[in-house]
Structure 1
Amino acid sequence: MTHIIRAATEADLQHLYEMAKSTGGGFTNLPPDRKALTAKLERAAAAFARGGDEVNDDMFVFMLEDTATGDVRGTCQVFSAVGLKGPFYSYRIGALTQHSEELGRTFRADILNLSTDMEGLSEVGGLFLHPGERSGGLGMLLARSRYLFIRNHRNRFAEKTFAELRGVIDEAGGSPFWDGVAGRFFGMNFQEADEFNAKHGNQFIADLMPKHPVYIAMLTDHARAVIGVPHPSGRAAMRMLENEGFAWENYVDIFDGGPTMTARTDQIRSVREAVDAEVRAIDDKLGDHKGGEKRLVAVGKMIDFKVAYGWVDARDEGIAVDPACAAALGIEPGMTITHVARW
């Protein structure tokens, strides 16, 4: 059985919709709304088809497909640069220190500052894997395929990349952070605001969100406790981001308070360590308990870009790959492919 990552097409609408219904809320990049998902697929098609070699307001959507059955089991997204056609808001955690001579005391207050610091940065997001497939390294295949796409289309992406992790959502589908901060100003609950944002964008944040700093000490205990904390289902994703070189620099999502992780694009581990090589042979002696090393293998550009796990071995100043990987990705001797270690 071989799974591949491939570009999404308009025929994937139903697949995306079924996955969107399974997210459990708080997943802005994958709303359970056919109209919004159709718009995403149309935008992705335009991005894949666009000529030029510069950063633009592009969004790319990819699907995880089981080549044996044709079933689609996951998805992920990459944004070339956010905030080019509208504000992109985050909260930045800062501090204000004040001293009283009369009391002889210094007070330090942690503060949430509304920020557009992420504007112009690339974003990786929209990753969803079917619960029945969360083993065998498929989550890693989805996540890291995005970095190989960025590497092989480097001029289309910014100097810095970020990822927003979903924050803590309670059993009722609400957000303690939203209830403690923005919900006081918007007259809508978290689910309503998150759905509105997914469908219509976040201009309403610019219209209604107070611009003054928010003192964290004035929030409820529940709201304070979840600032910068990922949803339990996102802890593995956070570890994968850290392994790639992403770090939390005190930015959080304005809706649920989840952490925003950032990295220099060229320093992302998969971008930095991936190499190109010419395929010299398709070798059926490669594989589990046979020989070679299991790696991520990528081929193609834009709409033809694909990634899969494959067995790779050095061969005559190039490489050999196993037949299953070659068949899944359409690899033939003489082609140049990109590969990186699986870790």
Structure 2
Amino acid sequence: MLIIRPCQMKDLEDLMALSKTVGRGMTSMPADREAWLKKIEATERAFSDQGKKDPMSTYFMVLEDPESGHVIGSTAIYTGIGLDRPFYSYKISTLVSSCNDLAVTRQARVLSMVNDYTGATEVGSLFVSPEFRKPGMGQFLSRARFLAMADFPERFSETVMAELRGWQDKDGNSPLWENLGRQFFGIDFQEAVNTVALKGTQFISDLMPKYPIYIDLLPQDAREVIGKPNDSSAPALHMLKKEGFQFAGYVDLFDGGPSVQCARDEIHTVRESVKGDVRVSGHVQDDDARFMLSNGSEQDYRVVLAPARLAADGTLLIQQAAADALLMDTSHDFSSLPVRFMPFVQNPHSAAYAA
């Protein structure tokens, strides 16, 4: 059985180890102890009654190895992005110019630096340790975020977005950065990523050009990766699209990775998941259909993936192990407890481990 829960201080060493395997370009998981301590503290506050009032919050959740209890994966929600420091994107747009004397009309695509996602909610930090990857894990981690949005809609903004890592070559180099970003910053791609993660975005305001950049003036290898996800992020993009997310012309400032967005209440898992009665039953077998379940608890939030059966009266029948994982007290009748659930149909493209 898979269990997702908020990160805790006891996870610090596991999170440090996890971030060292992530690879280049994932700004939300730097291998920095102080950064992780802040993220854990922010998550503890977010999953509290006081946290619901904060305009900016971090809901960083981890996937536990059921055998060892160690962290083997991660997924997160960030609210109020851009409110404390600018959240920059490139917006792809088209400029049209014409000359009547020559009877010529030309269109030119340009990249303009914008802050259009200010105040939005971002989903990201989806990762699974390579040795634990198996079909369905990425999909479960991705959709757990949307169960949380369904459980606590008042905590998340109406617009939800995701920023996918851009395409890189086998050596981890970004063609867009090498041909654009490096010209203005004079530093390595990973150094730029680390600077954003640890020091913020002020250096972008200081050095990045404020005027539109004509895409046609960039080398072909840079043009080709604008809006193209990293190979490891392509399945995550497919899953997000299945949830209703769409590309609206925004790409990452550094590597050109696509950003996608969806209205919170239109996300498939948010819209289709339901709260219902649950009951432990000895008739539920390990090979029964799997369901995602969340306990709706602010203090001890849990999401599990477990076998279950939907009874004729609408009650969801679960195993004792699932009830334990959801921290339910089964010493009395708990059929009226608010459990959110949804059938888990594995997507053939669900082997996503970085988004």
Calculate the TM-score normalised by the size of structure 2: 0.91
Partner of 1:328: 325
Q: CA separation in 1, counterparts of 2:102 and 2:133?
A: 56
Partner of 1:337: 339
Which runs of no fewer than 5 residues in structure 1 stay unpaired?
Answer: none
Partner of 1:108: 107
Aligned counterpart in structure 2 of residue 287 of structure 1, from 285, 288, 292: 285
Choose 158-167 or 40-49, whichever is displaced more.
40-49
SS of 2:255's equivalent in the other structure is coil
CA contact (8 A) 2:51 2:57 kept: no
- Equivalent residues in 2 for 1:230-241, closer than 5 Å: 230-241=229-240
Partner of 2:216: 217
SS of 1:181's equivalent in the other structure is helix
CA contact (8 A) 1:174 1:189 kept: no
CA contact (8 A) 2:296 2:340 kept: no
CA contact (8 A) 1:164 1:258 kept: yes
- Equivalent residues in 2 for 1:1-343, closer than 5 Å: 2-51=1-50, 53-54=52-53, 56-279=55-278, 281-289=279-287, 291=288, 293-315=289-311, 316-331=313-328, 332=330, 333-334=334-335, 335-343=337-345
Which runs of no fewer than 5 residues in structure 2 stay unpaired?
Answer: 346-355
SS of 2:233's equivalent in the other structure is helix
* CA shift for structure 1 position 275: 0.2
* CA shift for structure 1 position 103: 2.2
Q: CA separation in 2, counterparts of 1:117 and 1:55?
A: 21
SS of 2:321's equivalent in the other structure is helix
Aligned AA for 1:207? D
* CA shift for structure 1 position 244: 0.4
Q: CA separation in 2, counterparts of 1:52 and 1:79?
A: 12
Deviations 1:292-336 (A, max 9, x none): x31101113233111111223234442211233222222333322
Deviations 1:210-264 (A, max 9, x none): 1100000111111111100000011110111011000111100001100001000
Distance change (3 Å), C-alpha of 1:328 and 1:68 = farther
* CA shift for structure 1 position 38: 1.7
Calculate the TM-score normalised by the size of structure 1: 0.95
CA contact (8 A) 1:55 1:157 kept: no
Q: CA separation in 1, counterparts of 2:247 and 2:110?
A: 16
CA contact (8 A) 1:55 1:158 kept: no
Aligned AA for 1:273? E
Q: CA separation in 2, counterparts of 1:48 and 1:336?
A: 17
Choose 324-333 or 158-167, whichever is displaced more.
324-333
Deviations 1:17-49 (A, max 9, x none): 111111111010101111222221122222223
Q: CA separation in 1, counterparts of 2:272 and 2:86?
A: 33
Q: CA separation in 2, counterparts of 1:329 and 1:67?
A: 13
Aligned AA for 1:254? L
- Number of aligned residue pairs: give it: 339
Choose 179-188 or 321-330, whichever is displaced more.
321-330
Name the % identity.
37
Q: CA separation in 2, counterparts of 1:185 and 1:303?
A: 45
Q: CA separation in 1, counterparts of 2:286 and 2:9?
A: 36
Q: CA separation in 1, counterparts of 2:327 and 2:49?
A: 24
